[in-house]
Amino acid sequence: MVPRKISEPFYHGRAWQHTRAAYIKSVGGLCERCLAKGIIKPGYIVHHKHYITEDNINDPNVTLSWNNLEYLCFACHQEEHFGSAEVTRDGLKFDSHGNLIPVADSPRG
Ligand SMILES: [Zn+2]
Ligand SMILES: [Zn+2]
């Protein structure tokens, strides 16, 4: 997992916001994996097929290349990272960028 102090500037950066929005539009706002199974389900997060790490977060070929992006619903994204659609480990949740954060950090509390 990339530390938030490193990933935060990227996810808040204009380049990612722009790429993300354009990509979501290109796939019609639907989860790509569900759609492949014939299920119409809105996507939740743009996932990086090649996971972002501290080493590649400044490499646009990884972070901003459409070839590396996949729009997924929450369940498919959970499955990708954890092998099941179960809720994450106790005390952790995904934020809107797909980073695992302590539930205590959640705006919803
Ligand atoms: Zn899905
Ligand atoms: Zn992901």
What are the backbone dihedrals phi and psi of residue 45, each rounded to the nearest 5 degrees, phi first?
Answer: -150, 140
Instruction: Return the pLDDT at 89.
Output: 57
Q: How confident is residue 85, by pLDDT bands cut at 50, 70 and 90? A: very low
* Closest listed residue to residue 56, CA positions, set 68, 45, 44: 68
Q: In the structure encoding, which two tokens stand for residue 108, read together?
A: 């919803």
Task: Taking residues 85-90, report their average pLDDT.
Answer: 53
CA 109 to ligand 2 centroid distance, Å: 23
Instruction: Return the pLDDT at 32.
Output: 98
Distance CA 21, CA 94 (A): 19
Torsion of CA 7, 13, 23, 43, to 10 degrees: 50
CA 65 to ligand 1 centroid distance, Å: 21
CA 53 to ligand 2 centroid distance, Å: 12
Lowest mean pLDDT among 1-10, 82-91, 93-102: 82-91
Residue 108 above 70 pLDDT?
Answer: no
